[in-house]
């Protein structure tokens, strides 16, 4: 479990993380969502005690990260895929990480096997592809068989097969009771991976809810109708204060209602329907809607300000 | 550093990091080659021109220090080795993995210091013995050699290793402060070569009082068997030198604990 309380990080006059409070529960995959530069990486570095918060605090399994005697048994982290010395082999990289936390050597072979890098383990990691680097990063995170996994953009640079592998791996770990905290700026990926979402924009908490609830709350689902009597139905809908518009293919798109209600109105008005369906909003649309609330942030957002260092 | 087991684990990890990259072996080979090769070149040069030296230069002629002069260049190679153990972690990003694994950052610095300092001590003493042997072999040809039993000679040879170990720790402290390979190497070259050279431009009254307290000059006194006016005594000099090393490591340690990574 990860608990952040009013976590704040200021760089000069920029607030990278602004009084962020959230709890990441075990047993589910929690997505950490926000556009690039929203403060996700800074937050994750603060969880790991790498960056000191300006104010507020964050604990992992009830203690500050640095207070754990063998932190790799508590938290496994992937921050950057290519945080590797190119001249060192994957095997030796894992060996030194294991030694810091008194993890036995056999575990190195286990995680290499788990991520499918056994065959290239003795080769210099400088020749690794981005995907192989990600796999090694995930192997490093898994070394201590930690209760909490913290992964910053783990599917970046992975091919579809690799993405599927990470998704299934994380779902598996969540199902056995681990706490999974995974960041991404890709909404579509999060919708497939995460059960819960913590959404931030410019360091501020925008939403903290289940993925399904978030899509619903965004209210972006619409009812699609096709009918030969479009004018009649439009009039009937607007008479009841329901907003609807014509779509390019000659159908109607109706907002703020249900298929049941539209069907009943159509029946009452004796309108023939050729199609009546619910258009589920994509997470992408839900996200756009969410971040629109923080539109004043976006207006003066300086691109790349997360990479100030 | 309150927990010996944690320190042992951190030291093992640093040892694995060091032995698993090629640059370690290159820098050590270069250090040995420079230390012994230059001993041969310098002693051959002095030996063949001894008869042309004036009386003052003959009086301070120190066959032991001459044969160990190559260590002043070998120190650069080993200094670079120590610097890279720290700065390569910053350039590659593994420093975050390191500090996530060992949040007690002082422990990491201590482990790196023991590992690099230990290697430098062994390589330094070995190189000093090799350089002394080769140098005396050549000087013997001119009838100028000293022997290992002569006063101060063993101290000078072991002192060569101690000096190199101290310098490597200074370089590690510098690298911890600077965090960039090129910057730290430039700093090391400045400390060892450029600053002592620049102080020679000072008025001579001032010069002696400044120059001999500089890290390389103070530390280098331990490799001399003939004391000159400009030098501190071997152990006094070495203590001053250790003071410099402690200063750099101390600043590095303070910054390491407080800075974000």
Q: How high is the pLDDT of residue A97?
A: 98
Q: B149 pLDDT band (50/70/90 cuts)?
A: confident
pLDDT of residue A91: 97
Interface predicted TM-score (ipTM) of this complex, two decimals? 0.92
Residue B7: its pLDDT value, please? 96
pLDDT at position A303 over 60? no
Rounded mean pLDDT of B44-69?
89
Please give, one letter per residue, the 3-state secondary structure of B112-180.
HHHHHHHHHHHHHHHHHHHHHHHHHHHHHHCCCCCCCCCCCHHHHHHHHHHHHHHHHHHHHHHHHHHCC
Asked if A92 lies within 8 A of B260 by C-beta distance, the reply is: no
pLDDT of residue A306: 38
The distance of A241 to chain B (nearest Cα, Å) reads 56
Predicted local confidence at residue A292, as pLDDT: 65
Residue of B nearest to A48 (CA): B100
A60 chain-B contacts, CB cut-off 8 A: none
Q: Do A96 and B20 touch (CB under 8 A)?
A: yes
Q: Give B246 to chain A, closest Cα distance, Å.
A: 25
The whole-number average pLDDT for the span A251-275 is 90
Compute the nearest-CA separation of B62 from chain A (Å). Answer: 43
Q: Does A95 touch chain B (CB under 8 A)?
A: yes
Q: What is the pLDDT of residues B71-90, one digit of tens each?
A: 989 999 999 999 999 999 99
Which residue did the predictor score with more confidence, A200 or A37?
A: A200
Lowest mean pLDDT among A109-113, B101-105, B191-195: B191-195
* B125, pLDDT greater than 90: yes
Q: Which residues of A touch B96 (CB under 8 A)?
A: 45, 48, 50, 79-80, 83
In whole angstroms, give the CA distance from residue A81 to residue A59.
Answer: 24
Q: For the whole model, what pTM was predicted?
A: 0.86
Nearest to A99 among B13, B92, B103 (CB): B13
Q: Which residue of chain B is at minimal alpha-carbon distance from A78?
A: B97
Contacts of B21 in chain A (CB under 8 A): 85, 87-88
pLDDT in tens, A17-49: 999 999 999 999 999 998 888 899 999 999 999
Domain parsing of chain B, residue ranges: 3-258
């Amino acid at each position: 479990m990860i608990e952040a309380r009013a976590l704040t990080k200021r760089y000069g006059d920029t607030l990278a993380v602004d009084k962020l409070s959230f709890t990441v529960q075990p047993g589910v995959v929690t997505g950490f969502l926000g556009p690039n530069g929203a403060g996700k990486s800074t937050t994750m570095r603060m969880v790991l005690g790498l960056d000191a918060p300006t104010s507020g605090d964050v604990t992992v399994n009830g203690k500050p990260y640095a207070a754990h005697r063998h932190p790799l048994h508590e938290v496994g982290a992937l921050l950057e895929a290519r945080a590797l010395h190119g001249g060192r082999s994957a095997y030796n990289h894992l060996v030194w990480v294991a030694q810091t936390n008194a993890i036995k050597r056999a575990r190195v072979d286990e995680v290499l096997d788990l991520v499918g890098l056994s065959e290239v383990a003795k080769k210099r990691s400088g020749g690794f592809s981005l995907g192989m680097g990600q796999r090694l990063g995930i192997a490093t995170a898994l070394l201590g068989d930690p209760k909490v996994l913290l992964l910053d953009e783990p599917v970046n640079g992975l091919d579809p097969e690799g993405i599927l592998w990470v998704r299934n791996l994380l779902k598996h770990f969540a199902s056995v009771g681990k706490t999974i905290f995974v960041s991404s700026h890709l909404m579509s990926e999060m919708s497939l991976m995460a059960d819960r979402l913590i959404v931030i924009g410019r360091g501020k908490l925008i939403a903290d809810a289940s993925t399904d609830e978030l899509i619903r709350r965004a209210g972006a689902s619409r009812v699609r109708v096709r009918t030969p009597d479009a004018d009649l139905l439009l009039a009937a809908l607007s008479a009841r204060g329901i907003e609807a518009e014509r779509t390019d293919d000659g159908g109607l798109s109706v907002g703020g209602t249900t298929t049941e209600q539209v069907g009943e109105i159509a029946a009452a008005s004796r309108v023939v329907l050729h199609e009546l369906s619910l258009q589920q909003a994509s997470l992408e649309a839900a996200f756009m809607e969410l971040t629109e609330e923080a539109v004043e942030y976006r207006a003066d957002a300086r691109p790349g300000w997360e990479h100030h260092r | 550093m309150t927990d010996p087991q944690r320190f042992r684990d951190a030291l093992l990890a640093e040892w694995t990091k060091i032995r698993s990259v090629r640059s370690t072996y290159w820098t050590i080979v270069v250090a040995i080659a420079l230390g012994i090769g230059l001993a041969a070149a310098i002693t051959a040069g002095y030996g063949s021109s001894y008869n042309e030296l004036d009386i003052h230069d003959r009086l301070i002629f120190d066959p032991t220090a001459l044969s160990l002069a190559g260590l002043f260049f070998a120190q650069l190679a080993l200094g670079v080795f120590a610097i890279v153990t720290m700065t390569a972690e910053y350039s590659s990003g593994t420093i975050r993995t390191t500090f996530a694994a060992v949040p007690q950052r002082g422990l990491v610095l201590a482990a790196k210091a023991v590992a690099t300092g230990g290697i430098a001590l062994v390589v330094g003493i070995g190189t000093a013995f090799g350089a002394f042997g080769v140098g005396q072999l050549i000087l013997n040809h001119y009838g100028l050699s000293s022997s290992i039993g002569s006063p101060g000679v063993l101290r000078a040879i072991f002192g060569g290793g101690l000096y190199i170990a101290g310098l490597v720790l200074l370089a590690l402290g510098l690298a911890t402060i600077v965090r960039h390979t090129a910057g730290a190497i430039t700093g090391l070259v400045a400390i060892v070569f450029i600053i002592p050279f620049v102080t020679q431009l000072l008025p001579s009254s001032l010069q002696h009082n400044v120059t001999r307290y500089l890290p390389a000059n103070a530390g280098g006194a331990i490799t001399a068997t003939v004391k000159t006016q400009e030098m501190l005594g071997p152990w006094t000099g070495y203590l001053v030198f250790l003071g410099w090393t402690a200063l750099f490591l101390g600043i590095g340690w303070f910054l390491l604990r407080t800075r974000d990574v």
